[in-house]
Amino acid sequence: MGALEGDRPLGEGRRPPGGKPVSITAVAERAGVGLGSVSRVLSGKGSVSPEMLRRVREAAESLGYQPNLLARSLRSRATNTIGFVISDITNPLLAAIVGGAEAVLSEAGYSVLLTNSGGRPEIDAQRIGLLLRRQVDGLIVLPASEGDPGTIAALAGAGVPVVAIDRELPGVPEASVVLSDHYTGILAATHHLFEAGHRRVALVAGPDMRPARERLRAYSDAHTRAEVPPFGFTFGPLSAARGAEAVGQLLGAAEPPTAIILGGNQLLEGAIEAAQGRGVAVGRDLALVCCDDIPLGRLHRPPIPTVMRDTDGMGRAAARAFLARIAGETPPPEVMATWFDPRADQDRVGAGSG
């Protein structure tokens, strides 16, 4: 790509005082050479003589030429642009994923078109349509629901490189996926609770999609293996309100659980609030386990044990998968690790109650 970079005041070549923006034609005229040659020099494709290189570069420089990427993309059928479809940028988890992906993508010369669906699948589809009309080279999606795999399938089937994060797309081999191994982390967390003496462990699993189902599978397997009857689980949205509601209900039961596993960090806020509201001391009267690291959990006294994963790494992996697809490869599904961090202090081992 670019021969020229920020060697001149930004925004210069756009609309020079004269009026017309400086185009490749202007450079060609100034250098006294043909259009093709200028293009070859500036885009770096094709071979040119050293003399030509010098003259064109000089002319471009002196005119403050900046290529119009729109025109380039129109002709070359590649925009070096990727659509990122996400349900809620406000969620630190998703933000971290976006951040990781953006780093890799911009390094590779891609720009990210970010779209926030707000969790409504119909908006998802609408925005994806807009991105396609904008001729993005591909998409990284973190759909709000699995309800409409048809959309993704249609895309992938139409040859648009698609990478889905933490979603299963059965029957859509054309799409790549980056998955989290939620199973391992929750399995370890559940065993840890058993070891601490808990026998009534509830799971608030999150919305009925792959991550929640994997967590549930680990939760069930752990109970089976330890021969402990499962206390129960719920599916539901990932939000503070839902966390408060679920924990409130659980604590209000005749025989409440002594431990609750929360399937998403958004639940933690509400969960702590609900417990505090009932005078239940989190970490003493009630053990909580959270998924995905947030300061709230780490700084709680006692700290709240957490199933961790590398969110930045997930974003990077998704970006790499996308770049691989662009390069014509078909990267296999990538499964990213999760691990359980009990976060026990030296002087305080195991959770209370029983």
Partner DNA sequence: GCGCTAGCTGGAAACGTTTCCAAATCAAGC
Partner DNA sequence: GCTTGATTTGGAAACGTTTCCAGCTAGCGC
Binding site for its own copies (CB under 8 A): 5-6, 9-12, 14-15, 66-71, 73-74, 79, 81, 84, 88-90, 92, 95-96, 98-99, 102-103, 106, 111-116, 118, 125-135, 150-151, 154-155, 157-160, 240, 268-269, 272-273, 276, 294-296, 298-301
Residue 131 binds DNA (CB under 7 A): no
Residue 113 binds DNA (CB under 7 A): no
Considering the complex, what minimum distance in angstroms separates the CB of residue 133 from its own copies?
A: 5
For residue 112, give both structure tokens. 């990210």
Considering the complex, what minimum distance in angstroms separates the CB of residue 261 from DNA?
A: 51
How far is residue 133's CA from residue 351's CA, in Å, rounded to a whole number?
A: 54
Which residue has tokens 């958004």? 266
Considering the complex, what minimum distance in angstroms separates the CB of residue 52 from DNA?
A: 4
Contact 15, 21 (CB under 8 A): yes
Nearest to 127 by CA among 113, 117, 140, 118: 117
Residue 129 binds DNA (CB under 7 A): no
Residue 206 binds DNA (CB under 7 A): no
- Tell me, rounded to whole angstroms, the distance of Cα 228 from its chain centroid: 35
- Judged by beta carbon, residue 35 or residue 281, the one nearer DNA is 35
Give Rg (Cα) of the chain.
26
H or E stretch including 261? strand 259-262
Strand 138-141, strand 81-86: pairing: parallel
How far is residue 39's CA from residue 118's CA, in Å, rounded to a whole number?
A: 42
Residue 76 binds DNA (CB under 7 A): yes
Which does residue 240 bind out of DNA, its own copies, none, counting CB within 5 to 8 angstroms by kind? its own copies
Residue 74 binds DNA (CB under 7 A): yes
How far is residue 60's CA from residue 99's CA, in Å, rounded to a whole number?
A: 34
DSSP, collapsed to helix, strand or coil, labels residue 18 as coil
Residue 51 binds DNA (CB under 7 A): yes
Residues 6+ apart with CB under 8 A from 21: 13, 14, 15, 68
H or E stretch including 99? helix 92-107
Rounded to 5°, the CA angle 283-352-207 comes to 50
Q: Which stretch binds DNA (CB under 7 A): 17-25, 123-131, 317-325, 341-349?
A: 17-25
In the list 45, 227, 347, 349, the residue contacting DNA (rule: CB under 7 A) is 45
Residue 276 binds DNA (CB under 7 A): no
Q: Which stretch binds DNA (CB under 7 A): 20-28, 167-175, 209-217, 276-284?
A: 20-28
- # of chain residues touching DNA (CB under 7 A): 32
Q: Which stretch binds DNA (CB under 7 A): 39-47, 112-120, 161-169, 316-324?
A: 39-47
Q: Which stretch binds DNA (CB under 7 A): 34-42, 138-146, 246-254, 322-330?
A: 34-42
Nearest to 112 by CA among 163, 61, 153, 159: 163
**b (16+ CB within 10 A) / e for 268-287:** bbbbbbbbeeeebebbebbb
Which does residue 129 bind out of its own copies, DNA, none, counting CB within 5 to 8 angstroms by kind? its own copies
Residue 71 binds DNA (CB under 7 A): yes
- Tell me, rounded to whole angstroms, the distance of Cα 23 from its chain centroid: 38
Considering the complex, what minimum distance in angstroms separates the CB of residue 45 from DNA?
A: 5
Residue 67 binds DNA (CB under 7 A): yes
Residue 132 binds DNA (CB under 7 A): no
H or E stretch including 339? strand 338-341
Which does residue 20 bind out of DNA, its own copies, none, counting CB within 5 to 8 angstroms by kind? DNA
How far is residue 302's CA from residue 282's CA, in Å, rounded to a whole number?
A: 8
**Residues at the contact surface with DNA, assessed by CB under 7 A:** 20-21, 23-25, 32-40, 42-43, 45-49, 51-52, 65-68, 71-72, 74-76
